[in-house]
Amino acid sequence: MSRSTRHAALFLAIVTCSYALGQVTWGANAHPAQGGPYSSITFDQQMALLNQMGLSFYRMDLYPDATCPNCRSLLASAIASAQAHGITVLPLLIPPGKPSLYANEAAAHTAGFNMAQEYAKQFTSSGITTWELGNEYDVCALSCTDNNCGNPQSCGDGSTFSQYNTSKYAIERGLIRGMLDGIHSESPSALGIVNSGGWCHYAFQNQLLLDGVDFNLTGWHWYSSMGNIASANCSAGPTNVLGILKGWGKPIFLTEFNSNQSDSPSAQGSYLTTTMAQWTSLAPSNYIAGAFVYQLLDQNSLTYCNSASLGDGSCLGLADNNGTILQSGTDVQSYVVSPRDAGLLNWSAGQLTLYPGQEVKLLNGTFLTFQVDGNLVVYNSSNVALWASNTSGHDCSPSQNCKAVFQTDGNFVIYRGTTVLWATSTNPAGFILAFAASAPYLYIQDQTGTEKWSSGGNVAPPGVVNFVDNALNLLPGQKVSLTGGNYLAFQGDGNLVVYSFGGSALWSSKTSGHSCSSNCNAIFQRDGNLVIYQGTTALWQSSTADGGSLLSFTNINPFLEIINASNSVIWESH
């Protein structure tokens, strides 16, 4: 392996954006733009409810600036809170779908493009990589609905394109194509979900694909009145709707599901958990990637959610309009948060960013925090440090732009401005970052579930470890291990040694013979010098001050190297 190949991961970023097929990610719908409990209950409280129920996605509807002037600020606040809680926001862009509002398809395209472009321009840098584009536009295109998307109950089942009005369909096609073009104008790698009102309305999206509107992810809605998604009562007889969606070859997001509004929270909970169990079993063979309960909070202040015909007056919320979890939410929590997973959070690449002072907490009180000194630390509920990135000592006040981010390339990195303080060097393989209540606390897996990095414990660490700017600071008795067995140990006699898996010394600093029970350390300093200290006395150094940018430890001789900013090796452990 050449030196340039060995260190390429530090200098190259391979952007990936994927979804784990066969493993359902659960979420909930929310309506901050509609006010009510979504205004009185803070975003932090809403995200904490999702954490408590084990849900990972927050789907929120957004509207054009003319009708919702505060929608963008709501999205910004939701993203900030969601990132601190390990939640992913799915923005749902809804320019009006009423065909009567547009002169022709070109006008609809312009409206969709403008809205999507403006949102993508503002929020791509905030980590938004997936957008849902429009909501149930298939209903607006049915022949028997009026130009204002009137009640479609008497329309056919939507399973054949002959049931749609071609002129109205063209307007909806223009809106959707415009939004796809809009997000891609700002972020070519962004993903777009196009949904349907569900049941048997698959002819709408199928026609979009035939017309070259190649959305990236399939969205679908399902409520108990629609029956069984694997055997729906369509006009052609029992139909495996999920199998039809699978045939489009795209990951499937069931972005709304629940029982009927007339059901009590306990009846809702029973339907939800039964359906979740069915979809979990169907997911591996049917491309299901996510499903979102409708909805997080009751909006029983709304007229259509507040009548005696709706049982307890709820509107399908997992929690009531005071933020108290209902029976439906408790049932969902019991299904998603099993005893084994009660202390576990997962993030896909690009989904976690922590800023100084922010933290993510598990159900048992263990929490991960990015401190104002630049140190990333796992604490237990008694505030005892369990693991740290050892990057303390930095000024991470707001002007310094510090953050700890699990990037879209799969690398978990701590930045101070543009300077890398610490990294897991797991790009491009990193796919899932997990935070657990027991050792090793943090670990990164690839798409096959193979562990690529962990923060400690009886697991295999990576085969190459790179350190920058004080990221390596070993005390006597501490060591860094690699896949393949080599480990770097700072001994109690003051000697820094590279050992093989079998315990043979491969290299040493030749500084043994010192009493280093408490006052010694081996540190890769901020100035690029690797130094062994006893108190303030330097016992050994690499003499790379003001030149070294990176210290690399590998299984290959020379085992330790220091590289400068030009990617040239300026010291080796011979």
My answer on whether 490 and 428 are in the same domain is: no
| End-of-domain residue from the set 340, 371, 394 | 340
User: For the residues of 316-351, what is the DSSP string, one character each?
Assistant: S-SB-TTS-B-HHHHHHHHHHS-GGGTTEEEEETT-
Domain that holds residue 545: 463-574
My answer on whether 408 and 501 are in the same domain is: no
Handedness of CA 257, 294, 79, 75 (dihedral sign): positive
Work out how many domains the chain is built from and give that number: 3
My answer on whether 375 and 333 are in the same domain is: no
Measured between alpha carbons, how far is 245 from 279 in angstroms, rounded to an integer? 14
- CATH number of the domain that residue 553 is part of: 2.90.10.10
Where do we find the tokens 């100035």? Answer: 527
**Structure-token pair, residue 326:** 């209902």
**Total Cβ atoms within 10 A of residue 231:** 14
The predicted structure's pLDDT at residue 501: 64
50 is a domain residue? yes
My answer on whether 504 and 436 are in the same domain is: no
My answer on whether 311 and 366 are in the same domain is: no
The 3-state DSSP class for residue 271 equals: helix
4 is a domain residue? no
Counting Cα atoms < 13 Å in the Cβ hemisphere of 77 gives 14
Query: b or e along 4-27 (b: 16 or more beta carbons within 10 Å of the residue's beta carbon)?
Result: eebbebbeeeeebbebbbeebbbb
515 is a domain residue? yes
Q: Are 476 and 532 in contact, with CB atoms under 8 Å apart?
A: no
The 3-state DSSP class for residue 476 equals: coil
Pairing assessment for the beta strands 520-524 and 550-554 based on DSSP bridges: unpaired
**Structure-token pair, residue 50:** 């999702």
**pLDDT per residue rounded down to tens, the chain (574 residues):** 333 333 322 221 222 234 544 568 899 999 999 988 999 999 999 998 998 888 989 999 999 999 999 999 999 999 999 988 889 999 999 999 999 999 999 999 999 999 999 999 999 999 898 999 999 999 999 998 777 786 655 678 999 999 999 999 999 999 999 999 999 999 998 999 999 999 999 999 999 999 999 999 999 999 999 999 999 999 989 999 999 999 998 899 999 999 977 788 888 999 999 999 889 878 877 889 899 999 999 876 555 565 434 434 357 899 988 898 989 998 998 888 653 344 667 777 877 888 887 777 776 778 888 887 788 988 887 777 788 888 877 778 777 889 999 998 899 999 999 888 899 989 888 888 888 888 888 999 887 778 889 887 333 334 567 776 666 788 888 877 665 557 888 998 999 999 876 678 899 999 999 988 778 989 988 888 999 999 899 999 999 998 888 888 887 788 899 988 887 889 999 8
33 is a domain residue? yes
Measured between alpha carbons, how far is 169 from 344 in angstroms, rounded to an integer? 45
My answer on whether 415 and 518 are in the same domain is: no
My answer on whether 309 and 373 are in the same domain is: no
Measured between alpha carbons, how far is 349 from 171 in angstroms, rounded to an integer? 36
10 is a domain residue? no
With 0-12 / 13-18 / 19 or more C-beta atoms within 10 angstroms meaning exposed / middle / buried, residue 388 is middle
The predicted structure's pLDDT at residue 64: 97
Dihedral pair phi/psi, residue 277, rounded to 5°: -65, -40
The 3-state DSSP class for residue 292 equals: strand
**Structure-token pair, residue 443:** 């670990």
14 is a domain residue? no
- CATH number of the domain that residue 29 is part of: 3.20.20.80
Closest CA to 161 of 177, 178, 141, 147: 141
11 is a domain residue? no
My answer on whether 73 and 104 are in the same domain is: yes
434 is a domain residue? yes
My answer on whether 303 and 428 are in the same domain is: no
The predicted structure's pLDDT at residue 2: 33
Pairing assessment for the beta strands 402-406 and 237-239 based on DSSP bridges: unpaired
| End-of-domain residue from the set 315, 340, 365 | 340
| End-of-domain residue from the set 340, 374, 404 | 340
